Structure 1
Amino acid sequence: MELLPQTVWVIGVVFARVGALMMLAPGIGDQFVPQRARLIVALFIAFTLAPVVSGKIGPVPTDSGDMFLAILKEIVIGLSLGLTTRILFSALATAGAIAGMQSGLGMAMAFDPSQQQQGAVFGTFLALLGTALVFQADVHHLFITGAAKSFDNFLPSAPLPLGDIAQFGLRAFSQAFALAIQITAPLLLFGIVTNIALGIINRVAPAIQVFFIAQPIQVLLGIMLFAVTAGAGMLVWLEAIAEAGRSLN
C-alpha cells in the first residue's frame, strides 16, 4: 500500500506524455478512430513503459500545484513529439496538392483522414498509402520506443526544454516541404514543360483554344506520371519518417 501512490503517479506521468502523443500520432490519432480505442492504446503503452522508466520519475509532489505543472509539462512534451510526426505526414498533403495542380486535378477533392478536412484527391491517396506503409514497415515501433527514450532526453524533473522543442519543430517543417518537393519533382518538371509548350503553341496559333484542347491530355499524362513515380517518392518519404523515429531513440 505504501508503494501504490508512487506507482499510480508513475503511470499517470507516462500516460500524460504517451496520451498526448497518441492524440496527434498518424493513424491512431486520426479523427475517424474512436476515442475509446485511442485511450485503450495509450493506457496499454503507459502500463508497458511505466516499469521501464519508473527510475527516472521522481516521487509524488506534495503540493497540488507542482503536481499540475508536472502533468502539464508531460502533456507539452508528448504533444511536441506527436506534432513532429504529424508535420512529416503533412508533406503528403502538400505533395498531393502540388500533384493536383500540375496534372490539372487541383479542384478534385476528397476527405483526407490525416488532415480531418477536404484535400486534393492525390493527397488523400498519399496519406492513406503513407499510413499503410508506416504500419507495414513497423516504423510506428520506432516512435513507441522513442516515447520511452524521451524520458532520458526530457527528464520529468528537468525544466521544459522549449528551445530544443522549437528547433525540432522548425526542422520538421523544413523537412516536410523538402519531402513534398522530392515526391512531386517529376510532376513539377512535367508541369513546367507542358505549360511552356502550350504557351508557345498559343503564341504561334492564338486562334486555337490550346489550353482547353490540351486539358484532357494533361490530366491523362499527369495521372500516368504520378502512378509511375509515386512509389519512389513514397520510399523517400518513408525513409525520412523512419529516420525521424530513429532520431528519437
Structure 2
Amino acid sequence: MELLPQTVWVIGIVFARVGALMMLAPGIGDQFVPPRARLMVALFLAFAIAPVVSSKIPPIPADMGGLFLAIGKEILIGLSLGLTTRILFSALATAGAIAGMQTGLGMAMAFDPSQQQQGAVFGTFLALLGTALVFQTDVHHLFLTGAARSFDNFLPGKPMPLGDMAQFSLQAFSQAFSLAIQITAPLLLFGIIINVALGIINRVAPAIQVFFIAQPVQVLLGIMLFAITAGAGMLVWLEAIATAGRSLN
C-alpha cells in the first residue's frame, strides 16, 4: 500500500505522454477512430511501458501546482512527438494535391477519413496506402518503442528542451514538402512537358480548341504515369517515416 501512490503516479505520467501521442499518431490517431479506443490503446501502452521507465520518473510533487505542471509537460512532449509524425503524413496530402493539378483532376474530391473532410482523390488514396504500408511493414513498432525511449531523451521533471523540439518540428515540415516533391516529381515533369506542348500547338494553330481536345489525353496519361511511379515514391516516403521512427530510438 505504501508503493501504490508512486505506482499510480508513474502510470499516470506515462499515460499523459503516450495518450497525447496517440491523439495525433497516424492511423490510431485519425478522426474516425473513437476517442475511447485511442485512450484504451494508450492505457495499455502505459501499463506496458511504466515498469521499464519507473526508475526515471521523479517522486510525486509535494503540492498540486507541481503535480499539474509535471503532467502538463508530459502532455506537451507527447503532442510534440505525435505532431512530428502527423507532419510527415501530411506530405501525402500535399503530393495528392500536386498529382491532381498535374493530371487535370485537381477538382476531383473524395472523403479523406484521416482528415475527416473532402480532399483530392489522389491524396486520399495515398493517405490510405501510407497507413496500410506503415502497419504492414511494422514501422509503427518504431514509434511505440520511441515512445518508451523518449523517457531517456526527455526526462520527466527536467526542463523541456523547447529548442530541440522546435528544431525537430521545423525539420519535419521541410522534409514533408521535400517528400511531396519527390513522390510527384515524374508528374511535375509530365505537367511541364504537356503544357509546353499544348501551348506550342495552340500558338501554331489557334483555331483548334487544343486544351479541350487534349484534356482527356492529359487525364489518361497522368493516371497511367501516377500508377507506374506511385510505388517508388511511396517507398521513398516509407523510408523517411522509418528513419524518423529510428531517430526517436
With the shorter chain as reference, the TM-score category is: over 0.9
In 2: Cα distance, 1:117 partner to 1:86 partner: 16
In 2: Cα distance, 1:71 partner to 1:129 partner: 35
Following TM superposition, by how much is the alpha carbon of 1:113 offset from its aligned partner in structure 2, in angstroms?
Answer: 1.9
SS at match of 1:132: helix
**What is the CA deviation profile of residues 158-215 of structure 1, one whole-angstrom value per residue up to 9, with x for unaligned ones?**
1011111100000000000000000000000000000000000000011111001000
- Residue type matched to 1:211 in 2? F
Match of 2:183 in 1: 183
In 2: Cα distance, 1:25 partner to 1:111 partner: 20
Give structure 2 stretches of 5+ with no counterpart. Answer: none
- Residue type matched to 2:127 in 1? A
**What is the CA deviation profile of residues 88-128 of structure 1, one whole-angstrom value per residue up to 9, with x for unaligned ones?**
00000000000000000000011112222211000000000
Counting aligned pairs with the same residue, the percent is 87
In 1: Cα distance, 2:168 partner to 2:48 partner: 27
TM-score, with structure 2 as normaliser: 0.99
**What is the CA deviation profile of residues 129-167 of structure 1, one whole-angstrom value per residue up to 9, with x for unaligned ones?**
000000000000000100011000000021011111100
Match of 1:167 in 2: 167
Following TM superposition, by how much is the alpha carbon of 1:55 offset from its aligned partner in structure 2, in angstroms?
Answer: 0.3
In 2: Cα distance, 1:40 partner to 1:187 partner: 42
Aligned-pair Cα RMSD in Å: 0.5
SS at match of 1:92: helix
Contact 2:186–2:229 (CA under 8 A) maintained in structure 1: yes
Moved >4 Å (runs of 4+) = none
Match of 2:87 in 1: 87
TM-score, with structure 1 as normaliser: 0.99
In 2: Cα distance, 1:19 partner to 1:149 partner: 15
Contact 2:32–2:114 (CA under 8 A) maintained in structure 1: no
- Residue type matched to 1:227 in 2? A
- Residue type matched to 2:25 in 1? A
Greater displacement, 228-237 / 108-117: 108-117
In 2: Cα distance, 1:105 partner to 1:16 partner: 43
SS at match of 2:119: strand
SS at match of 1:114: coil
Match of 1:234 in 2: 234
Match of 1:37 in 2: 37
Contact 2:112–2:124 (CA under 8 A) maintained in structure 1: yes
In 1: Cα distance, 2:233 partner to 2:139 partner: 17
- Residue type matched to 1:26 in 2? P
